[in-house]
Amino acid sequence: MNIDKWGEFTLSSGEKADFFRLGDLRLWLKYKDEEIWIGHQYAGHADSKEALDSPPEDLEWARWAPKEPGNTIKLMPVFPDLPLVVNSEYPLRVNPGASIQIFTRIPVWLRISIGKNDTVLTELPSIKLSRTWFGTPIEGELCFWAITKARRSLSNVERKPHMVSCPIQITNKTEEDLNFDKFCFRVERLKLFVYNEELWSDETRIVYQGEEQYSDINMSGRLPKGMENAKLISPPRKPEHRSLATRTFKMIFDESFLFGK
Amino acid sequence: METYFSEEFLQLSFKIALILIITIPVLFLLRGWARNFFTKKYAPHYGMLAGKLVFYTGLIILVVTIMGQLGISLAPLLGAAGIVGIALGFASQTSVSNIISGLFLIAEQPFKVDDIITVNNTTGVVISIDVLSAKLRTFDNQFVRIPNETLIKTEVRNLTRFPIRRFNAKVSVAYKEDISKVKEILMDVADKNEFALSEPKPIILFDAFGASSIDLLFLVWAPVSEFLQLRNTIQEDIKARFDEEGIEIPFPHVSLYSGSASKAIPIEISDTDSSGSGKFKGRNK
C-alpha cells in the first residue's frame, strides 16, 4: 500500500510480508519468530505485479530482535541526514534589496521505529539521491544533490506523499544581483509538519550578504503566515541552533584543480 | 644484614621503591587518559602526541626526583652532559637525526595517525609517529617501520589529506565510434554510480589518437573514504555499459599496408589441390 498516513502499523505475523510504497521505495515488512524483518528495493527493480504481491526472491532481508517483542511498528517521515544542494532547474536572479519567497520540494526519508521509546531500526530514502561536494577540493561538506524548480507558488502542483514542501525566503542585501542556480539547503535543522494532509517544513530565511561573505540563515520554526493548525510530526535532526552563518550560494572551484591531468 | 645495609640505606631504598610503585602506574594511567581524551575530542594523532608528552614529562620528573632522593646533584651532571653529549653525538648521529626529523614531522604535520601515505613504493595506514620512526600498516597487513630521517628526505604522498579525490580512468574506444555518444554514455555511467559525486562534475578529456584506439580520460570525483569503491565499480560499469551499447573497446592491433591508402590486402582462395588442402595467395592490384 502507499504510505500516506504516518504513525503506527500492525504487521501480520508469520511468513506473510506487508508491502509499503513511498516514492521509489518498495518496502516489505514482516513479524516472524519475534523478529522484525525488513526488505527494500527501489522502483524499476521491483515493479512487476508479482513482485509487489509477494517479496521478490532476490530481496535481501535485514532482521531485528526488539527488546520487547511486538508486531507494531512506526513509520515516520524525516529529512535527509545530509544537507541538500538544491539545483534550480532555471536560474533565478534576485535584484538588490529584493526579498522573495520560493518553494522547493524535497524527498523525505522513511524512519522505521518500534517500541515505547521509538527505537529506530532503519531509515530509508524515498528516492535515491546522488551525492555532491559543496566546497573546494580542500574543504567543504558532503551533501545530497537535488534538482528542483524553485517555484514561487505551489498551487497546481501534484500532491506527492513522499515530498516535503519547504518555504524559503531569500533576501538580497547586497548592491548586486544574486544570481542563484543552486544553494546549500541545511534541511537537517528543519521541522516536519503535516498541513492539509501534506508534508511541510518550517520556513527558512536566508539573507545573502555577498559572494565573499557568509549568508545568515534562520529557521523560523513555524510555517508561513496563513498556515495555522499544522501538526508537528518530526523535530529537526540537529536542533542545537535556530540560526547560523554559513556559505549557502556558491563555493568557488579553482578550475586548475578540476581540469589538470 | 646490619653489616652490609645500614638503616638509612634501607629507608632510602624503601622510599625509592615506594615512589616507583606509585608513580609508574600513575604515569601509565595518565598517558592512557590523555591519549583517550585527545583522541575522542580531536583526532587519534593528537591523542598519540598528548600521550607521549605526558609520559616523557612524567618520566623526566620521576628520574629527577629519584636522583634528588639519592643525593645526586643535577648541576655537575648537566656540565658533564656537555662533554658526554659531544661524544654521544658523534656516536649516534643517525639516532639524533631521526629524533630531530621526528620533531620536524610533528611540527610540519605532512601526515597524521590514521592517514594513508605512500613513501617510495610502500603504501599504508600510519599507526604511530614515534621518536625515531613512523610505523605503517600496509593493506596486506604488513608492519613497516620508516625512519623519520627518510620521511623528511623523500617524497611522501598523503592519499587522505583532502576530503575528496579524483579518479582518472583511461577509456579507449575504437576509431569507428561516435565520440559524442561515448561521452554521453560515460556521463550517464557516472550519474548512476553511487560513489561518484555530482559536483565537481565528471570531466571527459580527449587524450590522444592512440595506435589502436581513441584514448579518452574520464575524470570522476569521490569522497576520499570511497575512492577505492569508485575505482572498482566505475570501470566495471563502463565495460558493462559499453557491451550493452555495442561500443568497441579495441585491443592493440596492427594493420598491414598493401601499398594503396586504407585498402585491405586482397586475398584470393585457389582451387583445392590433390592433397585436399586449400591454397590462398595475395594479389597485388
pLDDT mean across residues, chain B: 84
Q: If interface means Cβ-Cβ distance under 8 Å, which residues of chain A face chain B?
A: 85, 128, 130-135, 137-140, 142, 145, 253, 257-259, 261
Is the per-residue pLDDT at B284 higher than 50? no
Residues of A in contact with B163 (CB under 8 A): 133, 135, 137-140, 142
As to burial, measured by CB atoms within 10 angstroms (0-12 exposed, 13-18 middle, 19+ buried), residue A31 is buried
Whole-angstrom CA distances from A29 to A9, A43, A47 are: 10, 17, 17
Query: Tell me: the pLDDT tens digits for B206-224?
Result: 988 988 889 999 999 999 9
Query: DSSP code of A45?
Result: T
* CA neighbours closer than 13 Å in the CB half-sphere of residue B109: 8
Q: Which helix (H) or strand (E) holds A56?
A: none
Distance from CA of A182 to the nearest CA of B (A): 12
Query: Tell me: the pLDDT tens digits for A12-50?
Result: 887 788 888 888 999 899 888 888 899 998 886 555 555
Distance from CA of B173 to the nearest CA of A (A): 19
Find all residues with CB under 8 Å of A151, minimum gap 6, and list them: A102, A103, A104, A157
In whole angstroms, what is the distance from residue A219 CA to residue B136 CA?
46
pLDDT value at residue A258: 55
Instruction: Concatenate the DSSP letters of all residues of chain B into one string.
Output: -TTTS-HHHHHHHHHHHHHHHHHHHHHHHHHHHHHHHHHHHT-HHHHHHHHHHHHHHHHHHHHHHHHHHHT--HHHHHHHHHHHHHHHHHHTHHHHHHHHHHHHHHHH-SS-TT-EEEETTEEEEEEEE-SSEEEEEETTS-EEEEEHHHHHHS-EEETTSSSEEEEEEEEEE-TTS-HHHHHHHHHHHHHH-TTS-SSSPPEEEEEEE-SSSEEEEEEEEEEGGGHHHHHHHHHHHHHHHHHHHT---PPP--PPP-SSTTPPPPEEEPPP-TTS---EEE---
Contact (CB, 8 A) for A206 and A168: yes
Question: Which one of A130, A142, A144 makes the best mutation probe of the B interface by having the most chain B beta carbons within 10 Å?
Answer: A130
Nearest to A145 among B198, B203, B221 (CB): B198
Cross-chain Cβ contact B219/A258 below 8 Å: yes
> Do strands A109-114 and A72-78 pair parallel, antiparallel, or not at all (unpaired)?
antiparallel
pLDDT value at residue A124: 93
Cross-chain Cβ contact A132/B199 below 8 Å: yes
pLDDT value at residue A249: 63
Nearest to A131 among B166, B197, B217 (CB): B197
DSSP, collapsed to helix, strand or coil, labels residue A92 as: strand
**Can you tell me the mean pLDDT for B62-72?**
84
What b/e readout covers B192-226, taking b as 16+ CB neighbours within 10 angstroms? ebebbbbbbebbbeebeeeeebbbbebbbbbbeeb
**Can you tell me the mean pLDDT for A216-225?**
76
pLDDT value at residue B131: 82
Q: For residue B141, name the pLDDT band (cuts at 50, 70, 90).
A: very high
Is the per-residue pLDDT at B235 higher than 90? yes
Cross-chain Cβ contact B198/A131 below 8 Å: yes
Residue of A nearest to B197 (CA): A132
ipTM: 0.78
Distance from CA of B177 to the nearest CA of A (A): 24
Residue type for position B125: V
Query: Tell me: the pLDDT tens digits for A121-141?
Result: 999 999 999 999 988 888 888
Place of cell 595506435: B211
Q: Which residue has the higher pLDDT, B138 or B91?
A: B138
pLDDT value at residue B275: 53
Nearest to A133 among B168, B191, B200 (CB): B200
Distance from CA of B60 to the nearest CA of A (A): 40
Residue type for position B116: I
How many A×B Cβ pairs under 8 Å? 48
Query: DSSP code of A52?
Result: H
Phi first, then psi: give them for residue A251, nearest 5 degrees: -125, 130
What b/e readout covers B143-161, taking b as 16+ CB neighbours within 10 angstroms? eeebbbbbbbeeebeeebb
Q: Which grid coordinates belong to B274?
A: 590433390
pLDDT value at residue A78: 92
Residue type for position B48: M
Distance from CA of B28 to the nearest CA of A (A): 37
Nearest to B197 among A133, A139, A257 (CB): A133
Cross-chain Cβ contact A138/B198 below 8 Å: no
Nearest to A137 among B162, B168, B203 (CB): B162
Find all residues with CB under 8 Å of B5, minimum gap 6, and list them: none
In whole angstroms, what is the distance from residue A105 CA to residue A162 CA?
10
In whole angstroms, what is the distance from residue B119 CA to residue B156 CA?
5
Q: For residue B260, name the pLDDT band (cuts at 50, 70, 90).
A: low
Residue of B nearest to A128 (CA): B194
Q: Which grid coordinates belong to B227?
A: 575512492
- Report angle CA B272, B273, B275 to the nearest 5 degrees: 115
pLDDT value at residue B9: 83
Whole-angstrom CA distances from B262 to B123, B256, B265, B285 are: 48, 10, 9, 14
pLDDT value at residue A261: 54
What b/e readout covers A3-30, taking b as 16+ CB neighbours within 10 angstroms? beebeebebeeeeebbbbbbbbbbbbbb
Q: Which of A5-9, B87-91, B104-108, B199-203 reaches the highest mean pLDDT? A: B199-203
Q: What residue ranges define each of the domains in chain B, with the CATH number in brackets?
A: 10-98 (1.10.287.1260), 109-158 (2.30.30.60), 164-245 (3.30.70.100)
Query: DSSP code of A9?
Result: E
In whole angstroms, what is the distance from residue A109 CA to residue A163 CA?
10
